[in-house]
Structure 1
Amino acid sequence: MATESRPDFPSGAPYYLLNFERALAWLAERYDDLLDADEHAFLRAFAGLPPASRALLVRMLMRKGTLFRASQLRYDEIGCPLQAAAPLAALGWVDTEPGLSLDDLFALTTRAGLLEIFADETKRAPGFKALRKPDMLAALRVFYEAGDVGDERDENVSAEGAEGAEGAEGAEGAEWAVDRGERDAEVSAFERVAVAVSVSVSAARSSKRPLSAWHAATTDSVLRVVIAPLCDRLRLMFFGNLYQEWSEFVLADLGVFQYEKVAFAPSSRAFQQRADVDVYLALHACREALDSLPQLSSLPGDDTELAAIDALVAAVRRIDTSNPWLETRRAKLLFRIGQHCERRLQWPAALAVYAICAWPGARHRRVRVLERSERFGEAFDLATQAAAAPESEEEAQRLARLLPRLRRKLGEPTVRAAAARPVERGMVVLARPDAALPVEYVARDHLSCEAAPVHYVENALINSLFGLLCWEPVFAALPGAFFHPFQREPADLHAPDFHARRAPLFAACFAQLDSGAYRDTILRHLNEKAGLQSPFVFWGLLTPELVTLALDCLPAAHLKLWFERLLRDIRGNRSGLPDLIQFWPAERRYELIEVKGPGDRLQDNQIRWLAYCVEHGIPVRVLDVRWAEEGPLSGVSAEAAEAAEAAEAAEAAEAAEAAEACDATIVARTAS
């Protein structure tokens, strides 16, 4: 199918059009059997359009939204946007006189333009002119209801507005002024403006109208991209997701993003059947519906919102698929619905959703919701069952913290965990810097010296060394892993069988840690792959000097321990590593340092990494920073100081408990 650009541009076809046509050719080659009649027709018709029309459509598709002012579509290679849009309109792909809602109008118009459009409102209500744009919209929206507003309702609104305005007209002029320094005064003025605005709005309003009906004096036009949903579907089939835009081509051409070239077969693609595309889009629509739920009601437990949640869950469950990847997306969506219910204190709804959700963490959330619902017996039974076979180190850690609390609430004796090696913890008092700097940087500068330099690395260094050593397994051209040239990671990176599918490749990389060959491999990839997108490598932090120093001081045995834990749970273990690393090059040794400023506490993933390092003899410590002028805990009461000290002690104990729980999980997995 011909999709190449014709040489009708004086200086050649623009880069974005060539890239879009390259994507269409790619889709025609790989997805011909999944495209329907409309999509085939689009590919044919697009190739036959005038060059300016093709360029205009792609320009609009690359921008956010589907509504555009013609005055904002001026490009030298396109010329007059209305002339270029005419062939698109003839095909029904673009609407040159779309109806605009009030929200659409506000999104397309500057504040100055809105004051011109609503000049009558400005005259009737002087306070209207002083309102911020969001408040102007709120003041007007109630009088421009979307949907089929009947005449009776229009008359009622107008009558109410007229009645309120009669009292308003006799008000002092000062009462209309908006005091921007006082929010209460602004709200009061906003309410009065809304009353006055109601008088100036015609009872014959409609929910949507062309721009010329909103603003008779305008010389501008608005274009709406009607074909956008079909093009979004094509974009989904090309990228395998909807978060990547057509601009990926441009960013790659400009060198902003560079990608590894994976030699995958033409048969490798994101979707194997059209139904999978439909399922993805259906799940995406449900996710958008979830995002709109907070707009339904500001009150938790409102009947309207509860009904919407029930309908949303039912819609998600009705989506039929046997595709494991799409089942994972469904599980993640259900988990987010459960989280929404928790935030809204809707405990029964949250329980019902978590009960049918297979996303990691759903079982723990069920226990927490049961606890919040004061159903302690059920919570304890489920937590005990989960503790016998935890799904991850994270769940084991949370259950170890939760079970003693449930035992106390049930009046049962608590079972004390076996003591584990504590994490070393110290404190340093430093002068607060004049410039605002992260506390980690201040600690780094304090500790660093010529003989023992300190680097701020957090998650970057260990992840990067792993990514550089294991570059080949990560970017292996396995079926379903890669299917377009703009992937920074394999599609199955977080799949349960990610490691298993590449086990021999990872084993070969880890064997280099035993043979000593790992150093050359890491340095070679550091040079050859520089700048290429990777889910593990932080190019902005890496320098040849840092990598060389790390390889000199980090034992291969410790690298292997870190890499093995990363590979066990990539999603959970890529973060939580200590902030700083200090090297002693002359002694070829190092130490990891987690920095905590005043009021900071260790996060769960940090506690798990600290516990793992302590258990395996990896040098690590926690450093608490206090500011000299404040004292160790100045500015707080004695009770608060004691509480802070107790919290630090609890963190140390929790890290020890986490070590036991993590080791138990590892042993259980190894045994199975």
Structure 2
Amino acid sequence: MATAPLPALDTGYYLRNFDTLVAFVKSSYADILPVETLTLIDTYQSLTTPAQALYVRLLMRKGELFRCDKLAYDEIPDQPQAIDELCQHQLLERVSSANTDLSERLMLLTKPELVTLGKVCGTPIASSARKPDWVDHLVASAEHDAADHVDRQKSLDVLLEESYPMIRQAGLAMVDQIKLCFFGNRYQDLSEFVISELGVVTYENYALDNDHRFYHSTQQLLNHDRYYQLLASADDIREMDAEALVHLCESMPEKTDAVLQRRVERTITRAARQLERLGELHSARDWFAKTRQPPARERIVRISAALKEWPAAKAMLNDIQARPIDDDEAEFAQRFIPKVQKALGEPIQKYTAPEIITNTLTCDFVEGERVEQRVQTVLTDEDTGSVCLYVENLLFNALFGLYFWDDIFAPVPQAFINPFHRGPLDLFSPDFYIRRTQSIDQRLAYLLECPSVDKSGNKSGDKEENLSSEKTILLSQLLATAQQKAGIANHFVVWEYATPELLTLAVETIPSEDLHAIFQRMLADLRNNRSGFPDLIRFDPQGYELIEVKGPGDRLQKNQIRWLNYFSDHGIPARVLHVEWGSV
């Protein structure tokens, strides 16, 4: 099916979007913005439209240094005048030898232009040389000539300024603060406005008034800004030496809110892991101890074991077993505790995993058909009313996202920063449940009070007529939410698969207590537990079952095993189906 072409954007889209961003930040945060940032906003808003347009156009380009002859925008007919206005307001700076290194200016020239410049200045090299070689050669020649009091350096500067006038954009640090106020991070940008305006993504209309703003003090904003500045100035953590890693950790800002705490601790955990790789075990352990971001506690145990400090390892393992942060931690403790117990001469605990039901299916190989599709075809039987569907993570995520929609987009303080969220900032942290406990628990309790069939015992041949009144209400609510919110971005819902037919079949067939158990496990760790569901779901007149399909050579992944064990513990019908090809 051909995709409908996207509507064209008008030429002023970028300016309108930036103006919206600036106006939002000023109205929401004027009382806490640093003086220089608020001054930049006021200055920008005082500019003529052409000057504003040029400033924003440059923000959308890479870097801060630009050649004037390479700037051409139809909506800015008098570009020199716009440049003059921006320079007068100190939002642009004309580039010269006094404020910009020669090499930086030369890098804006093309190789043919560098060759010409070299010939004019009498310093040519082989025309086959690469552009960086030309830049290095011209800079070296100019520095050598300057040392010998030759005027070639001056000639080069004059040629550059006369033939290739350049400008540098100013105020970028303040613009970064403005965008940080709006987006809350450094990876979203003005393109979010574009995809929203084009209708590519539609976002929920949640509360964004001053009562729900994210930043509440100048220091909080500056701490977030400092965090991103540190990340930008640091090399790849995997390439840093021990001294640089420790300096990065020591330079982290104060954790003034839960979001910044998670970001800082995630970075410290990564840095500590690299210290461990470098053999700096004591330093690594000290930094791991300053964070609870997994796998920090696991690494403390492993480092303590490597140092033969078994009591310390045992103490941390006991802490993990008593209060595991996630399944990875719990499973690590189960696997590692025997090693520590053996070293301490203690009785060794043994762990027996729940049994996973496994069957084998032999079927013919069909070229171009995935193994899951082959099994889906084999297990679908219209005569017996058996329907097998490929759903993997899609179905239960959609049911979760629709059922808890109002909790996901609830007006909780500091949950949303801008209009472009698929869920709250704390969605994938323990805080999501903690801050919405009452509402979420009420929804979970309703599932336990929601029998699947009419308790009166009056059964008919129509499945819908056999549903309890509570289950009918549940289905109606889910379908109503799906209809009302159709197309709105939600981390859990892929709309093309969340069809009314699938939702109806699932809610009518899957017992509410099963949904309760599945949602409970998802809520325990939404980041990890929203994946790992079996490939297929099979519905028949007797009920349903979940089927994980494995072709020849395939193995179960950790998150799949965890879900299958959980299903076994809670009596949810699930099995693994190993496929063997009968004929190829």
TM-score by length of 1: 0.70
- Within 5 Å, which residues of 2 pair with 1:364-379? 364-372=298-306, 378-379=312-313
Could you tell me how far apart the structure 2 residues matched to 1:594 and 1:565 are?
A: 18
- Within 5 Å, which residues of 2 pair with 1:224-239? 224-239=168-183
Q: Does the CA contact (< 8 Å) of 1:289 and 1:312 recur in 2?
A: no
Provide, for residues 426-463 of structure 1, a one-character-per-residue CA deviation record: whole Å limited to 9, x for no partner: 4456676655x765455545555555443332222111
Of the three residues 552, 569, 587, the one matched with 2:508 is 552
- The reply to whether residue 50 of structure 1 matches residue 48 of structure 2 is yes
- The reply to whether residue 524 of structure 1 matches residue 480 of structure 2 is yes
Of the three residues 579, 591, 606, the one matched with 2:560 is 606
- Partner in structure 1 of residue 242 of structure 2: 306
Provide, for residues 277-297 of structure 1, a one-character-per-residue CA deviation record: whole Å limited to 9, x for no partner: 11111122233344444555x
Could you tell me how far apart the structure 1 residues matched to 2:194 and 2:389 are?
A: 35
- 2:422 maps to amino acid: R
Q: CA RMSD in A?
A: 3.9
- Within 5 Å, which residues of 2 pair with 1:260-339? 260-294=204-238, 305-316=241-252, 319-339=253-273
- Partner in structure 2 of residue 182 of structure 1: none
Could you tell me how far apart the structure 2 residues matched to 1:221 and 1:442 are?
A: 65
Structure 1 residue 343 displacement after superposition? 4.7
Structure 1 residue 34 displacement after superposition? 0.9
Cα distance change on mapping 1:543 and 1:64 into 2, 3 Å: farther
Structure 1 residue 18 displacement after superposition? 1.9
Could you tell me how far apart the structure 2 residues matched to 1:12 and 1:434 are?
A: 48
- Partner in structure 2 of residue 21 of structure 1: 19
Q: Does the CA contact (< 8 Å) of 1:293 and 1:308 recur in 2?
A: no
- 1:244 maps to amino acid: Q
Provide, for residues 602-653 of structure 1, a one-character-per-residue CA deviation record: whole Å limited to 9, x for no partner: 33322221111111111112234566799xxxxxxxxxxxxxxxxxxxxxxx
- The reply to whether residue 565 of structure 1 matches residue 509 of structure 2 is no
Could you tell me how far apart the structure 2 residues matched to 1:624 and 1:142 are?
A: 62
- 2:191 maps to amino acid: S
- Partner in structure 2 of residue 383 of structure 1: 317
Could you tell me how far apart the structure 2 residues matched to 1:482 and 1:237 are?
A: 11
Could you tell me how far apart the structure 2 residues matched to 1:42 and 1:395 are?
A: 48
Q: Does the CA contact (< 8 Å) of 1:62 and 1:245 recur in 2?
A: no
- Partner in structure 2 of residue 595 of structure 1: 549
Cα distance change on mapping 1:201 and 1:454 into 2, 3 Å: farther
Cα distance change on mapping 1:60 and 1:308 into 2, 3 Å: same
Q: Does the CA contact (< 8 Å) of 1:512 and 1:518 recur in 2?
A: no
The sequence identity of aligned pairs, in percent, is 32
The 3-state SS of whatever aligns with 1:267 is helix
Provide, for residues 13-42 of structure 1, a one-character-per-residue CA deviation record: whole Å limited to 9, x for no partner: 812212222222222222121123322322
Q: State which drifts further: 562-571 or 494-503.
A: 494-503
- Partner in structure 1 of residue 537 of structure 2: 582
Q: Does the CA contact (< 8 Å) of 1:62 and 1:247 recur in 2?
A: no
- The reply to whether residue 84 of structure 1 matches residue 82 of structure 2 is yes
- 2:335 maps to amino acid: R
Cα distance change on mapping 1:492 and 1:105 into 2, 3 Å: farther
Q: Where does the alignment leave 5 or more consecutive residues of structure 1 unmatched?
A: 1-10, 130-135, 146-153, 155-199, 297-304, 631-672
Cα distance change on mapping 1:217 and 1:452 into 2, 3 Å: farther
- Partner in structure 1 of residue 467 of structure 2: none
Could you tell me how far apart the structure 2 residues matched to 1:114 and 1:548 are?
A: 68
Could you tell me how far apart the structure 2 residues matched to 1:456 and 1:100 are?
A: 60
The 3-state SS of whatever aligns with 1:594 is strand
Structure 1 residue 410 displacement after superposition? 6.1
- 1:84 maps to amino acid: A
Cα distance change on mapping 1:277 and 1:537 into 2, 3 Å: same
- Within 5 Å, which residues of 2 pair with 1:479-490? 479-490=413-424
Q: Does the CA contact (< 8 Å) of 2:275 and 2:283 recur in 1?
A: yes
Structure 1 residue 234 displacement after superposition? 0.8
Of the three residues 495, 518, 521, the one matched with 1:539 is 495
Q: Does the CA contact (< 8 Å) of 2:372 and 2:536 recur in 1?
A: no
- Partner in structure 2 of residue 425 of structure 1: 358
- Partner in structure 2 of residue 504 of structure 1: 438
Cα distance change on mapping 1:594 and 1:407 into 2, 3 Å: farther
- 1:307 maps to amino acid: E
Structure 1 residue 552 displacement after superposition? 2.9
TM-score by length of 2: 0.80
The 3-state SS of whatever aligns with 2:389 is strand
The 3-state SS of whatever aligns with 2:544 is strand
The 3-state SS of whatever aligns with 1:583 is strand
Q: Does the CA contact (< 8 Å) of 1:448 and 1:582 recur in 2?
A: no
Q: Where does the alignment leave 5 or more consecutive residues of structure 2 unmatched?
A: 1-8, 148-152, 451-469
Structure 1 residue 254 displacement after superposition? 1.1
Q: Does the CA contact (< 8 Å) of 1:509 and 1:518 recur in 2?
A: no
Cα distance change on mapping 1:295 and 1:568 into 2, 3 Å: closer
- 1:46 maps to amino acid: Y
- Within 5 Å, which residues of 2 pair with 1:343-362? 343-362=277-296
Q: Does the CA contact (< 8 Å) of 1:262 and 1:476 recur in 2?
A: yes
- 1:364 maps to amino acid: E
- Within 5 Å, which residues of 2 pair with 1:104-503? 124=126, 203=144, 222-294=166-238, 305-316=241-252, 319-372=253-306, 378-407=312-341, 414-417=348-351, 419=352, 421-428=354-361, 434-435=367-368, 440-441=372-373, 443-444=375-376, 447-448=379-380, 450=382, 451-503=385-437
Could you tell me how far apart the structure 1 residues matched to 2:174 and 2:42 are?
A: 14
Could you tell me how far apart the structure 1 residues matched to 2:568 and 2:434 are?
A: 28
- Partner in structure 1 of residue 3 of structure 2: none
Cα distance change on mapping 1:444 and 1:223 into 2, 3 Å: farther
